[in-house]
Structures are given as C-alpha cells and as structure tokens.
A and B are shown apart, each in its own frame.
Chain A
Amino acid sequence: GENVEQHPSTLSVQEGDSAVIKCTYSDSASNYFPWYKQELGKRPQLIIDIRSNVGEKKDQRIAVTLNKTAKHFSLHITETQPEDSAVYFCAASRGSGGSNYKLTFGKGTLLTVNP
C-alpha cells in the first residue's frame, strides 16, 4: 500500500519568513496530493491540492510543487503569519473528487510562527 513520509515533524519560523514542508510517497499510481491544516481541537481543513498532471499550484501565500519522477511534493508558505501556526498534513491518493480512493496521510508537521 501507499506510504507517505513527511518532514520535518516540527518547524519554527519567524513571522514573515517562508516555511517549506516536504513529503514523499511510494505508490506510483497516486495522482492526487492534498495538504491539510489542522488547528488545535479542529477538523483538518483542505488548504491546497495538486494533481499529477500539474507541477505547481499557487494560491496567494501558499504553493505546492510536485515531482512525479522523484515521488515527492512540497508545501511552501511565504510571508508567514502567526495564524499560520498549526499542524499540517500531506496526503496522497489514487483519485479525488468523488473517487473511491482512500487518502494516506503523512505524520504531520507542527508549524510555529513566532511574532
């Protein structure tokens, strides 16, 4: 089955700096890679996702890159703000949008943005 590795497990940055979280996956059939933000006591919230036919996707301060050959994808947050502090999870799946495929999650990264 799919195995998703996520690094680092914790990341501390100063406000305004950039943060990068990296994930690798094992299943070459995976083609959907979402990122979730989970604040303490809340449900995971989808913040950005990318599909295998795209190498990069950006949404304001958040971007995700995908290298299918190397089987890794990364989350980039620029101009970090204290409200970006949360646990971030990467995930991989063989499908999306009404698909029957399950998500496999990385172990998460605790991001702390210091004012």
Chain B
Amino acid sequence: SAVISQKPSRDICQRGTSLTIQCQVDSQVTMMFWYRQQPGQSLTLIATANQGSEATYESGFVIDKFPISRPNLTFSTLTVSNMSPEDSSIYLCSASGTGDLGGYTFGSGTRLTVV
C-alpha cells in the first residue's frame, strides 16, 4: 500500500487566518482524497484531488473555503481558509495504492484547533 506523510500533525490557529496541510505519497497515485473527521465522528469527504484538473468537492464544501492543489502525482495540499472555531477538526488525506491489492491508506492526520 501507499505510504502517506502528512504535516503539520497539529496546529492552533487564530480565527480569520488560513492553514495549509501537505500530504506526500511515496508512490504515484491518480487520485488523492481529503477528509474531515470531527471528534467521535466518521470521516466526511471534502474533495477528490486529481492531478492536472480542478478538485471535485462534495456537497457542503466549496473551493473558496478549502482550496486544494495537486501539482504532481505524489503531492497535494489542502488549505483551510478564513478559519472559524467550527473548522476545528482532524483533517486527513488519503490515496489509493497501486495494483489490485492497493486499498486506500491515510495520512496521519492534522489536528486543527481554531481559537
């Protein structure tokens, strides 16, 4: 399976500011996925990031709030813009591995607290 490095692991940010989260995959993957996980909740997909095209956002998430970059097949960033306390959550990136046995693996997550 693909191995994903995600940073930062945690951050405390002031409201109104922005934070960019980075994910690096150890192999080329077509798609990367960004999730949000509220404490004690399941994973909610924010968007799917395809290299060379604009990300596809799920209902309730917009590009102005969560801009995504995907400059190559091993890297992606998610920015949480103009943050409010409601954005406090864990953000995870994911990618599907190569080959039939790849499965989907996750980065270690970014725990964001907005004060």
Contacts and interface: CB of A to CB of B under 8 A. Distances in A.
Instruction: Say whether A and B bind each other.
Output: yes
A97 B30 contact: no
B103 A34 contact: yes
B42 A96 contact: no
Interface residues of A, number: 23
Contacts, number: 65
A107 B30 contact: no
Determine chain A's interface SS by DSSP, over half rule.
loop
Nearest to A97: B102
A98 B29 contact: yes
Interface residues of B, number: 27
Contact of A96 (B30, B43, B45, B103): B103
Interface string B37-61: 0000111010010100000000000
Interface in B4-61: 29-31, 33, 41-43, 45, 48, 50
B48 A102 contact: yes
Interface string A44-72: 11100100000000000000000000000
B103 A49 contact: yes
Interface of A: 34, 42-46, 49, 89, 91, 93, 95-100, 102-108
